[in-house]
Structures are given as structure tokens and as C-alpha cells.
Amino acid sequence: MMRLYTMFMLVSMAMAAAYATDNVILMPTSDAQNPKPVEKWFQSLDHAKETRTKLHFYFQDVLGGDSPTVWKVAESAITSTSATTFGQINMVDDLLTAGPEPGSEVVGRAQGTIGFADLHDTAIQMGLNIVFTEGKYKGSTISVLGRNPIFEKDRELPIVGGTGVFRMARGIAVSNTHSFDVNTNYGLWIRAGSMGSLGSASPSAMHVGGIS
């Protein structure tokens, strides 16, 4: 059975992802299980300077086939008759890759929920964590939360936080649809944006496959 790759989203984010003290980049690791290093990191922020960087990658969103990455978990009493699918909630665990091809270099996963939240227009409420599973940013995350009017040319989504090297990230991600094949439910979405962070990755260090 043909796998239905319903959308690819190219994500490009420019972010302030480093804070430096006396020219030394602060490099937090995955300290979630140990609050002491996190407390020490917070104390160092008074003497830190923010820098910025940019990254991009593709979301592989699969609604059908043998291994879907999006599953419906709930719907409202009017979802089946709503022109905007209002009330439907999906759980997402999309693969993130450096390129648009399914076999491209893996960067991480996009995990979270999307819900159809508009009675009049087709728009979804997105709450996603960008989870890096490969490379030097393995274990770090970026959080995206906001309204995505999926049929508009350009859509803005807030970047509201992060962990690891992207601690306290903030900024804007901008999406637009590159292409969509109705015969195979295949789409190419582009997301670009700017983000600030109290993280620790310097701009020159952000090149990982499709991340630049």
C-alpha cells in the first residue's frame, strides 16, 4: 500500500541561541533530572550576552499508509458535519529530516497536538515540541504554540520556549505551503522564522545536516 506523505514542512528558524560570558559560551546539557546545574546556569545569565542563529528542517507528516504519524484522538459532536472539522484533535509524532525526501538525514521529531479550533475558517491550534534526537543537540527541544490557518499563504506561529541548548527560546515561525498533491495527499510546507533564546549554541555551531 502506498504511504501517504500528507505534508512536508520546511522549518527555518533564526534564533538567539547563545549566551556568552567573557567570550565563553554557556553550554547547558540535559539537566532536567538534576536541578543544581540548572540553578547555576540561571545565576550566570546576569553576565551573559545573547547571540542569534538560524536552522531549518522538514516535517514529514503521514496521515495514511502503514505507519501514520498523525492519529485522531478526539472530536466534538459537530466535527462530522463541520465545514472546518471543528473540534477534531490529533496527536502528532512526525519525523524531522534535513531534506524533503523520506530517506533524508534524520534531525529529530515533532511531537504534540493539533486541534481544529475555528468554526468559520480552517485553522488549527498547534502545540508542538521540536525534539532533537541526533547530533550535538540531541535531547534539546524547541516549543511552538499558536494558531495555524493552514490554507493561508503565510502563517505565523509563536516560539514560546525550549530546553537544553534552547532554554528560554522565544520568537516567531512563519509557515507557507510550497505544494500539495491532492491525488496522494502529499504537501510541501515551508516554515521560516526568527527566534531568541537563552540557550547556548553559537550561530557557527548550528550547522547539522539541514540545520544552518
Residues with Cβ within 8 Å of 124's Cβ and at least 6 positions away in sequence, in order, are 114, 115, 116, 117, 147, 148, 150
Cell of 84: 472546518
Cell of 2: 502506498
Contact between 186 and 6 under an 8 Å Cβ cutoff? The reply is: yes
Residue 209 Cα distances to 10, 11, 153, 196, 212, angstroms: 13, 13, 27, 21, 8
Kindly report the number of other CB atoms within 10 A of residue 79's CB atom.
16
Q: Are strands 186-196 and 5-21 parallel, antiparallel or unpaired?
A: parallel
Residues with Cβ within 8 Å of 114's Cβ and at least 6 positions away in sequence, in order, are 70, 89, 90, 92, 124, 125, 126, 127, 128, 148
Q: What are the beta bridge partners of residue 124? A: 116, 148
Q: How far apart are CA 79 and CA 149, in angstroms?
A: 17
Q: What is the pTM of this model?
A: 0.73
Contact between 166 and 129 under an 8 Å Cβ cutoff? The reply is: no
Cell of 25: 559560551
The sign of the torsion formed by the CA atoms of 177, 129, 134, 164 equals positive
Q: pLDDT of 114-134, one tens digit each?
A: 999 999 999 999 999 999 999
Cα 63 to chain center, whole Å? 18
Residues with Cβ within 8 Å of 196's Cβ and at least 6 positions away in sequence, in order, are 15, 16, 50, 52, 169, 170, 171
- pLDDT value of residue 204: 26
Taking 70 as the pLDDT cut, the residues of the chain under it are: 1-34, 46-51, 53, 176-212
- Domain ranges in the chain are 5-205
**Domain 5-205 CATH (choose: 2.40.480, 3.40.50, 1.25.40, 1.20.144):** 2.40.480
